[in-house]
Copies of this chain bind each other. A is one copy, B any other.
Amino acid sequence: MAEKIVIGLDAMGGDFAPAEPVLGGYMAAKENPEIELVLIGREEEIKEHLPSELPNLRIHHASQVISMEDPPALSIRRKKDSSISVGADLLKKGEISAFVSAGNTGAVVSAATLKVRLLPGIERPGLAVVFPTMKGTPVVIIDVGANIDTKPTHLLQYGLMATVYCRLMWEGVENPRVGILNIGEEESKGTSTYKEAASLLKGSGLNFVGNVEGKDIFKGLADIVVMDGFVGNVVLKVSEGAADAVITMLKREIYEASWWTKLGAMLFLLPAYKRLKKKIDYSEYGGALLLGINGVCIICHGRSNARAIRNAIMVAVKEIKRKVNEKILEELKSLNPTKEE
């Protein structure tokens, strides 16, 4: 019998923990006998929410919880028996092949970066998020905040890691187009870090398509857009904020209109809006991917429900099966032969 794929799940992370993560983990284990699921967290609380026992599901007790408000780096040092710290420890020791959490993003990034080592040759981890575009295709945005002290080589490596990811994980994308965020289309634009990174990407052998402006990210002109973690975090949050603002203001316009407009909107707009919301909810895409660490790590949105958690687990399984990290190491050699010899 083939060895099982062991996935660690943070049972205590997210706004609806432990109920939703536990249920999501249960769903994934029940549907996929090839995986072994490890629920990490407070045993008693997990048991309360577990529908039944499964042969391929077990609990690894961790007594502490890092909340969404806890300061990330500090809480990792202080709460050594938290589900996030323990999950990172298990990933480091190889007892699990992937760690999935809907908890405090900063804490998961810190734990993974500090405890699990980086892939040899990778200088910084990058947190990647998949967004839908107007074209209907998805776009990977990397880095959305794993590293804010960004050098041109980090941006180059983000491009490479995301290229390998898209090639192996998406169907029909052989040679993903890599763009770099900038404030104009011309090469002369932007800060020295961005200009230097663009020149590195140009000579990298990746399918580099040049500068991508903020307004073009969602147009599907590139499959991957690299940027530094400060800007990327702002892009992630401004997108959410602007989308929310448009919807809220649209609702208000409808609310302030006549009663028959209100009725019409309820009947006709609401179903369309609900379908859209599902499409742009990034937890549907399996959460954010922490690329560059020596293991698979997926961070789900704090509002994730059981289905989103289950989806993220399945992405992690696919990432392991398709050997994304092994392939990143291989590609890195052909990118930087001088560094690797």
Task: Say yes or no for A120: interface residue by CB 8 A criterion.
Answer: no
* CB–CB B261/A238 < 8 A: no
* CB–CB A214/B243 < 8 A: no
Classify the secondary structure of A's interface with B: helix
Chain A contact residues, CB within 8 Å of chain B:
71, 106, 132-134, 145, 148-149, 181, 183-184, 186, 188, 190-191, 194, 213-219, 229-231, 233-250, 253-254, 257, 260-261, 264-265, 267-269, 271-273, 275-276, 279-280
| New A-B pairs, 10, CB < 8 Å, besides A148-B183, A214-B240 | A106-B184, A214-B234, A234-B238, A242-B243, A242-B246, A249-B276, A249-B280, A250-B273, A264-B267, A264-B268
Given A183-B148, A264-B267, A268-B268, CB of A238 within 8 Å of CB of B217:
yes
* CB–CB A219/B235 < 8 A: no
* CB–CB B233/A231 < 8 A: no
Q: How far is the CB of A126 from chain B (nearest CB, A)?
A: 15
Partner of A279, one of B249, B257, B265: B249
Cα–Cα distance between A229 and B257 once the two chains are bound (Å): 39
* CB–CB B243/A71 < 8 A: no
Residue of B whose beta carbon sits closest to that of A149: B191
Cα–Cα distance between A241 and B212 once the two chains are bound (Å): 12
